[in-house]
Structure 1
């Protein structure tokens, strides 16, 4: 199966550094078990305001611009890094992971106000398994 990378724009240096930190932290966090990952993200989310669609999209764009892994098939690392980068700005999107059966696939993404941010895939086909919403 060919891998297509998402197109990425230029990101200014301070934002680029923050995105690299988020991507590195996300890579470490995605090695945790799903339950520990969700718990870690719940702790990080504390005190954050709900993210705006513009902030979440800008964070996602910055993440895919600094990481070929995140621009490719690493949706879990991309979603975690996007959420962490939003958190650095005091905001948090809804972070989700889900599965579908026909064909079987797993996916991770972020949402704002019920809308997936920057996704080319129809996430309504997925049953949400884990979620760290913006507000509790």
Structure 2
């Protein structure tokens, strides 16, 4: 979502036991990223129901699994990446806070996940400049 140059993020390939869930999350993230914001939020809220909050370790493990299997998600496709991370967590029984936000100087849009009150895999000095416009947390 961000127009600036984005460094390619990488991770080692995940263990074999995590690969089916990661591949499913990657496959489902692509069509969800093309939904309207209203529909995307509704779907993610539905999926977060009855989940437990993800820990930072779980969210980091999901992020690494997604990046380890898909170079496409290591670049500027933050919306697809963040959705895939959230879905991967959900397949394992938890849900991180899924966020989208904007920065106005210069204008940028970004999507990310948070767990334990901190952004996962994001530079904290850059993420603080984003105003959160949508956040999907665990629904009970």
2:109 is aligned to 106
Q: Higher relative CO (CA 8 A, sep ≥ 6), structure 1 or 2? A: 2
Distance in 1 (alpha carbons) for counterparts of 2:6 and 2:134: 26
Q: Cα distance 1:101–1:49, how it changes in 2: closer, same or farther (>3 A)?
A: same
Comparing 12-21 with 81-90, greater Cα deviation is found at: 12-21
Q: 1:126 aligns with which of 117, 130, 137?
A: 130
Distance in 2 (alpha carbons) for counterparts of 1:115 and 1:93: 10
TM-score under structure 1 length normalisation: 0.94
TM-score under structure 2 length normalisation: 0.91
Q: 1:97 aligns with which of 97, 100, 105?
A: 100
Distance in 2 (alpha carbons) for counterparts of 1:107 and 1:2: 13
Instruction: Give the CA RMSD over aligned residues.
Output: 1.4
Distance in 2 (alpha carbons) for counterparts of 1:89 and 1:10: 18
The answer for unaligned runs of 5 or more in structure 2 is none
How far did 1:2 drift? Answer: 5.1
Distance in 1 (alpha carbons) for counterparts of 2:5 and 2:78: 16
Q: 1:33 aligns with which of 8, 33, 36?
A: 36
Distance in 1 (alpha carbons) for counterparts of 2:92 and 2:39: 23
**Given that residues 3 and 73 in structure 1 are in contact (C-alpha distance below 8 angstroms), is that contact kept between their aligned partners in structure 2?**
yes
1:14 is aligned to 17
